[in-house]
Structures are given as C-alpha cells and as structure tokens.
Amino acid sequence: MAERIATIASRVGLHARPAAIFAEAAAEQPVEVTIALEGEPAEEALDASSILALMGLGAEHGTRVVLRAEGEGAEAALEALAAVLETDHDAA
C-alpha cells in the first residue's frame, strides 16, 4: 500500500471549497484513496472522495494527514492529491 503525508495549506483547513476540490480530484483517480489524520490507525481512514467525510475529519490549516492507496497508479495518485492539499485554495 502506498502512503503519503501531506500538510493542509488552505487557511480554512479542509472545509467547504478546499474539501470539494480535493474530493473531486480524489474521485478522478484510478485507485481508491483514503485519508486520515496523522497518527490515526489505517483502519479509521475515510474515503477521500467523500466531501462529508473530509469535512468531518476536522483537518485545519497546518494539520498533517496520511493519504493511502493501493494498486496500479497509487503513487502518482497520492502525489497529485498531496499537491492539491498543499495548495492554499483560499489565497486571493
């Protein structure tokens, strides 16, 4: 299983617009991706393509999260999604 740690860059955290952007990007990946707060067990990871799950995660600006995926294209998918999380989508 591929794993990538990313830091939430959006000033409002992973809420509303940033969550929608990330969920859409996750849904477009060729593999299923999960997300969890750093330090949480992999079994508690949530579906990265679910806006409700993302908003319920409570990830604020600066929070480190773990993305996980399995299968062909997993590494590339995680890199692409980490880039989305590490972009401030609330910047003017």
- Alpha carbon separation from 69 to 2, 57, 59 (Å, rounded): 5, 18, 19
Residue 25 host element (H or E): helix 16-27
Catalytic residue among 4, 15, 68, 89: 15
Is 15 a catalytic site residue? yes
Local structure of 53: helix, strand or coil: helix
DSSP assignment of 68-81 equals EE-STTHHHHHHHH
Q: What is the largest CA-CA distance in the chain?
A: 37
Instruction: Give the catalytic positions in this structure.
Output: 15
